[in-house]
Homo-oligomer: A and B are copies of this chain.
Amino acid sequence: MLPPHVVLGTAYYPEYLPRSVGDRTAVDLDLMVAAGITVIRVGESVWSTWEPRDGVFDLEWIRPVLDGGAERGIGVILGTPTYAVPPWLQRAHPEIAAERRTGVPVPWGIRQEIDHGQPAFRFHAERVVRRIVERYRDHPAVIGYQVDNEPGVLLAHNAAAFEDFVAGLRREYGDVETLNEAWGLTYWSHRLSDWSELWRPDGNSTPAYDLAWRRFQAWRTTEFIGWQAELVRSLRREGQFVTTCLAYDRPAVADVPLTASLDVAASNIYVDVQDGLARPSLPSRLAPGWIGRSVADVFLAADRGYGSRGEPFLVTETNATSIGGSHQNKPPYAGQLRQLAWAFVSRGARMVEYWHWHSIHHGAETFWGGILGHGLEPGRIYREVAAIGAELAAAGSSVAGLTPDVDVAVLWSSDSDWAMQFQPPLATGGHPDKASYRTIVEAFYGGIVDAGLRPGVVPVERLEAALTAPVVVAAGLYAASDPVLERLVAYAQDGGHLIVGPRTGYADELARPRAEVAPGPLRKAAGLSYQEFENLDDAFAVEGLAGHATRWAETLLVDDADVLATYPHPGGERRPIVTTKRCGRGRITYVGTVPDASLAAGLFGESRLWAPSVTAMSAVNAAGERIWFVHNWSGTAVTVEPAVLGRVELGPWDVRVLKEGR
């Protein structure tokens, strides 16, 4: 039901404005039309407005916005307001408060403080969703629905959730003896004699328990979103879509099963701008988190959005200007919004929706900037958004619903991420680095971009899709089953180039280190083994390739592989750290460290970068045309002359969108 072009959208909250401002709906919608904004998302945050008292509904307040949209050709994504429950519901049903720790309810006063599995919540959520959808499904402006919002924000330790968890284990393992063996509960006297003896997660120190708990929590989120999506689907008008906006870093999200219950995947992508988008990348002042810290992170986030279902997706939220807290004010440089919009489109985005139309004068997100600021007058940001709108309109269907070209597919494993959050291999400042998985994967992904290649991201659940690429990266794939590892070897034997990064295959699918010499099922095919590994406090320049080994080194004992790079171990001798070996018709390259940018890029061969500040991504449209998106991530103009496109001139913080063979 989306129009045939890439849609420019914005979240719109006229209900938040101070009453003293008066009714701006017409003004705002007209400004949107002028800027090429053709979709708005509304209503998902204000349950207490939809239903001010228990069972008393006020559904009409939004109608003028929908009518105004319809009049102007603006489509509406109607949100269900279940992520923020009204005070009357909190007070009547205090048991719906989520417990981050057992017995300690999250205090009221923000949002998403609820355990969405609670019956009292489900009862009221279903009722309000039904009312809203039934009232507006036939409104011509409504093109689709967003159920809830950024779900999976916490791990609910509520009693019922825990009992569900135990029930699931009982179904899975049958008896406690089997669980004792599977989880290694002999250790430290943790053997259960009865299911009732399982301890709460608060004090848990058993890795297999933690991984099961994380999977269970992700399943709960999937179940909840699936329940709502099914509810809305049962009510909606034909052709309307159902989605939810995902923050991929939420602790209780598994994107593949979750998005399977939706009509389209949708991702919220926030990025550190200004010099955070410079290439070559500068060291980021941010810790890894929900804010992307580099250009590579921008593409990685977009690729994850595409990867969830292996098809075009929506960007439901992204920077209009400053994002985050009151102390995080960082508006983009001129041109950067346009660069970001086209970067998303280049990896398959069907919509680019800003959060949000105007800055809010109240609440936790007061300083999360809108297209309009608190002053509500159009300014520089509005003008830049309008320019993007014009370009998207001009490009029309030629850039909508693209299939990205992928030179190298990178595997993503939620299980390994969770396992490494519990037992991080990397250290930062002497402490466990809970971002270990991301750090490892991003090092390789960044290398692909730095080598001038086009990356993709494929969740392990969709392994076969990855194996269509000529090169596949399996880095940090710590928790992996025998079949997955064997399939990767078969891929190489069939002619693929498998690049294995550190920790891959060290543990099995329950995150138990294998009782066989590492890298276990990959040992023979990679032609090496290791029994020792260590954290590196310093970076070591390698020989054989450019760049450095950082943070981690496996002590590779090479049987019959070619050593591509060695590093000087401080204990004295040089040690191999990158090797490669023919494997059937293909090849396996093994990397026993976290490569720095230079070493990571070198893994993919001669650099095919057009210029240091330039990225070039391509994708194929429905007409079979290949579209190139050439970015200059720098404040200095640059001209490149790639064979495929000829001369391309790029201004500061510029992007060009070009059809191959133009």
- Residue positions of A touching B, CB distance < 8 A: 15-21, 45-49, 52-53, 81, 84-88, 90-91, 102, 106-111, 113, 181, 183-194, 196-209, 274-275, 285-287, 321-322, 325-331, 333-334, 359-364, 366-367, 369, 373-377, 379-381, 423-427, 430-433, 436, 506, 512-518, 529, 531-535, 537, 555, 570-572, 635, 652
Contact = CB atoms under 8 A, between A and B. Distances in A.
B45 A188 contact: yes
B362 A208 contact: yes
B186 A109 contact: no
Nearest to A202: B107
B333 A571 contact: yes
B515 A206 contact: no
A537 B285 contact: yes
Contacts of A326: 423-425, 432
Contacts of A107: 102, 199-200, 202-203
B570 A327 contact: no
Contacts of A88: 193-194, 197
Contact of A571 (B106, B109, B274, B325): B274
Most B CB atoms within 10 A — which of A48, A285, A286, A328? A48
Contacts of A367: 423
Contacts of A379: 531-532
Contacts of A571: 274, 333-334, 635
Given A199-B107, A377-B517, A532-B379, A190 B87 contact: yes
Nearest to A196: B91
Given A197-B91, A531-B373, A48 B207 contact: no
Interface of A is mostly: loop
A653 to B, nearest CB: 9
A24 B131 CA distance: 65
B331 A534 contact: yes
Given A188-B364, A377-B517, A381-B532, 7 more contacts: A18-B181, A81-B189, A111-B189, A184-B362, A207-B362, A329-B425, A375-B529
A322 B190 contact: no
A193 B363 contact: no
Given A427-B328, A515-B374, A199 B362 contact: no
Contact of A189 (B84, B187, B652): B84
B532 A189 contact: no
Q: Which 9 A-B pairs have the closest CB atoms?
A: A184-B362, A107-B203, A375-B517, A109-B203, A87-B197, A326-B423, A84-B189, A108-B199, A187-B363
Contact of A21 (B185, B424, B431, B515): B515
Contacts of A425: 326-327, 329
Nearest to A109: B203
B518 A375 contact: yes
A331 B432 CA distance: 18
B534 A359 contact: no
B515 A18 contact: yes
A209 B193 CA distance: 43
A433 B190 contact: no
Contact of A327 (B108, B377, B535): B535
Q: Which of A181, A325, A531, A537 has the most CB of B within 10 A?
A: A531
A65 to B, nearest CB: 14
A275 B537 CA distance: 11
Contacts of A81: 189
Interface-central residue, A186, A380, A430, by most chain B CB under 10 Å: A186
A379 B532 CA distance: 9
A187 B16 contact: yes
A381 B360 CA distance: 57
B427 A327 contact: yes
A424 B87 CA distance: 27
Contacts of A53: 193
A189 B85 contact: yes
A538 to B, nearest CB: 10
Given A432-B327, A518-B374, A87 B423 contact: no
B46 A186 contact: yes
Contacts of A364: 188, 205-206
Contact of A535 (B329, B427, B534, B570): B329
Contacts of A45: 187-189
Contact of A366 (B183, B193, B334, B513): B513
